[in-house]
Structure 1
């Protein structure tokens, strides 16, 4: 935020052709990125943090060079998108100001419209509102005024931006600057959420198709209910550990109570896996019942470690 405001953003639209406007827009974006790297301490710290996190987010399966390249490209995509969105938002506010849609009468435009509509449609011949203002020591209109100002975020952004562009950021008190940055952040959050999702989704798409990493993250992001797998262990009498990986391609979406489970006689403290019908539930559709379509996709045995009789702590 400390590299903005871009008070001269409207010059982008002064170009004669759309090609010139697009080139001017991307030149302004490039200059803003360089301003972050050269003059902005806070934004530079954020960029370095993002680069570090992006590097360590890449699995160690790849070499350091590939991790660095992939992390840099991922972070660069986020940074470029953020600067583009901020510049677009600056340009949109400036267009509204130039067309007298915002920043026309100070911070309380919405409240003034409310007072005008109130006096026009809800007259107060008895002077009740004036007495309420007197009885509450001015809190009654002040609360409405500042609440409306809080909800009229575009007007706050436009008026504050105009003040900063005319007099500089130093002319604002600290509270005013905080209010401005919070207002910008709220709108920037709305704009950036779908863009960040697209950038991260593209990163996962590239990773799973070309680098064969991030399968768990990509699969969970797709929110596919099917293709579930789980692991079961079996300790043999010899002490070997046998591992089974069971998978179901199609997971049922509708379930029903199993009448066979209800009618089966049950002994006290009987383990469910020893019963003929261990589950209380079954799939509503017989062809998709997991017990009939489950398959073993992997099976291996981990041999028992040989015990050294010379070790004092070894079991007999």
Structure 2
């Protein structure tokens, strides 16, 4: 597998450029609080896992196509197998004794059957993959035209996308799991990926009389899922500022035990001392009492 990986990077500039861009993105994605060496190592390991998974999936896809070809399930009669089957069924079950289809083909300058043929080829993606792969194995990849190569790569990409989506999610989820449990990074990304509605927190600031900044972090472990209108909210003066009201919110939890006003708690509190306090005596004169 290593030889196949190196061959891919050496002979495909697109794959090499994609791998380098992915590596740069993975290194940048690592939080900057770690050293540069650790960020590079983590990025390389992360990208290596993605590339190894992509290569294994590609080999499995090729193995599946080759198995179908050997059992004569695909690549039996060219690119237009589905169209040939359609014409056979059409002639058997929908005969045309008046020659209407032939006249329509003549009137449309051959567009009528051609459109159906190529539309069916577009939907018969496995057959296109198998026939093109057989031609590549017999004549080499250089025998393909640019259009044929583009069609082949697009066909492979459709199936590869379906197979790779859950695998990429697994690799990235494992990366976040390892990072938060052993490396203690990516807590925000991992928590948001879990989509947990509970354990919410917010920060409030307060400047006290001495000019120092107090920071309070308040948290709620259980967030209510059902809310109701608070009848006490309408009883207060409507023009009163919200922070001065006893019932500042129009809504309250349907279950009193889950009301945030009863469950909120301070999880962190610290004070940032003011630096360079102004000398009031020199600016306004001595203060007398």
The answer to whether the 8 A contact 2:236-2:245 is kept is: no
Distance 2:45 2:64 in 1: 28
Partner of 1:6 in structure 2?
none
Distance 1:275 1:135 in 2: 81
Supply the RMSD in Å over aligned alpha carbons: 2.2
Q: 2:262 aligns with which of 292, 303, 313?
A: 292
Partner of 2:225 in structure 1?
253
Q: 2:250 aligns with which of 270, 277, 280?
A: 280
Q: 2:149 aligns with which of 172, 177, 181?
A: 177
Q: How far 1:48 sits from its partner (Å)?
A: 2.5
Change (3 A) 1:271 1:143: farther
1:254-269 pair list within 5 angstroms:
254-261=226-233, 263-268=234-239
Distance 1:154 1:49 in 2: 30
TM-score computed with the length of structure 2 as normaliser: 0.89
Q: How far 1:153 sits from its partner (Å)?
A: 0.8
Partner of 2:201 in structure 1?
229
Q: How far 1:308 sits from its partner (Å)?
A: 5.8
Q: Which moved more, 1:219-228 or 1:127-136?
A: 127-136
1:149-164 pair list within 5 angstroms:
149-164=121-136
Change (3 A) 1:69 1:152: same
Distance 1:34 1:113 in 2: 42
Q: 1:201 aligns with which of 149, 160, 173?
A: 173
TM-score computed with the length of structure 1 as normaliser: 0.82
SS at match of 1:123: coil
Q: How many residues align?
A: 282
The answer to whether the 8 A contact 2:200-2:223 is kept is: yes
After superposition, the C-alpha distances for 1:89-125 in whole angstroms (9 at most, x for unaligned) are 1111111111111111111111222222233333344
Unmatched 5+ stretches in structure 1: 1-28
Distance 1:51 1:243 in 2: 38
SS at match of 1:234: strand
Distance 2:113 2:166 in 1: 39
Partner of 2:274 in structure 1?
304
Distance 1:315 1:128 in 2: 105
